[in-house]
A = this chain, B = another copy of it.
């Protein structure tokens, strides 16, 4: 089956060029149809630059742009003709099957929640990201959608991440870990301890608290945290990788022998860089929305855009959202969970 994927051409640090180039890569690789949403003239300009025929592209004109630093709520309220607003509307009206944007994350989360709406029973959307680990890949959620977390939010993130992990990432009975500052049950802020209780009350494969040093060790398939902490964890890891790389190059270049050594390991260094590169893993998923929304990194290049489109297609093929709905429904009606939520007075 062919899907229609909406792509926000105006969003991202390197828009429109890198986003459009990503669309070209995606066209080559996938049979699905792309709907390019952005400023008509800009998109046409990109098409002409590549000596391609405008008739071969589906374009939806979105005259307004949401800046990367713009307050999300304002942009959603005031810019009804932004690429994000128009993309979300197309998704709600089922004129596209999924929407991919590398633009303002907050605006995308806000737009998805207000325009597309959440699945029944889901309280807050969460951004889930696939990350490389020592043992392969894991899924971490939330990395920035929700900075005002309640226990039920994090609990549902775990349930949703587990379904995705199983259906798309091919993990059998995926384990769920709760990001915390210690492994003991008694550790952490009140709301995190409440999440521990909720997971423990259900039949999911909950492995308890996970310390941040183990995020990249592959100890858990799904890592659950709030959006503030998750965002910090993710961005720290980018910073550390960069700093370590710089330290290493500086040190190696200090002597002649090191420089020769560098030449010999260059291929390995590039492979490691690729291994740790977010763009290889595509965009992040906005879990909990009643439609498929993929959020690319603001710094996405063409390859990252193409991979974000790929993630959208995979979600559609596996019909993930319908299974997520079932799981949310099942846990919402689980008497143990209901009792626990009552006890916690959430």
Q: Which residues A153-194 have CB closer than 8 A to chain B?
A: 179, 181-184, 186, 188-190, 192
Q: Please indicate the chain B residues that have their CB under 8 angstroms from the CB of A268 in the complex.
A: 248, 251-252, 254, 258, 261
Q: How many copies does the complex hold?
A: 2
Q: Which of B144, B247, B258 contacts A264 (CB 8 A)?
A: B258
State which residues 223-270 of A face B: CB under 8 Å.
225, 227-229, 231-244, 246-248, 251-252, 254-255, 257-258, 260-265, 267-269
Q: Which of B186, B215, B238, B262 contacts A265 (CB 8 A)?
A: B262
Nearest Cβ distance between residue A249 and chain B, in whole angstroms? 9
Among residues of B, the one whose C-beta sits closest to the C-beta of A186 is: B71
Give the B-binding residues of A (Cβ under 8 A): 69, 71, 132-134, 144, 147-148, 179, 181-184, 186, 188-190, 192, 211-217, 225, 227-229, 231-244, 246-248, 251-252, 254-255, 257-258, 260-265, 267-269, 271-272, 275-276
Q: Is the CB of A69 within 8 A of B182?
A: yes
Complex contacts, A184 vs chain B, CB 8 Å: 69, 71
Of A134, A244, A262, chain B has the most CB atoms within 10 Å of the CB of A244
Min distance, Cβ A328 to any Cβ of chain B, angstroms? 26
Q: How far is the CA of A233 from the CA of B179 in the complex (A)?
A: 12
Q: Could you list some 5 contacts between A and B, CB below 8 A?
A: A134-B246, A147-B188, A188-B228, A212-B235, A233-B233
Shortest distance from the beta carbon of A29 to any chain B beta carbon, whole Å: 26
A246 to chain B, nearest CB (A): 6
Question: B215 and A236: CB pair below 8 A?
Answer: yes
CB distance from A308 to the nearest CB of B (A): 20
Task: For A148, list chain B residues within 8 Å (CB).
Answer: 189-190
Which of B183, B229, B238, B275 is within 8 Å of A229, CB to CB?
A: B229
Q: How far is the CB of A324 from the nearest CB of chain B, in Å?
A: 25
Chain A interface SS verdict (over half): helix
Whole-angstrom distance from the CB of A40 to the nearest CB of chain B?
30
CB-CB under 8 A from A71, the residues of chain B are: 184, 186
CB of B247 within 8 A of CB of A258, answer: no
The answer to whether B275 and A247 have CB atoms under 8 Å apart is yes
Q: Nearest-CB distance from A193 to chain B (Å)?
A: 10
Which residue of chain B is the closest to A251 with respect to CB atoms?
Answer: B268
Across the interface, A247 reaches (CB within 8 A) one of B235, B252, B272, namely: B272
* A208 CB → nearest B CB, Å: 13
Residues of B with C-beta under 8 A to A262: 261, 265
Asked, given contacts A69-B182, A244-B276, A261-B264, whether A233 binds B231 with beta carbons under 8 Å apart, the answer is no
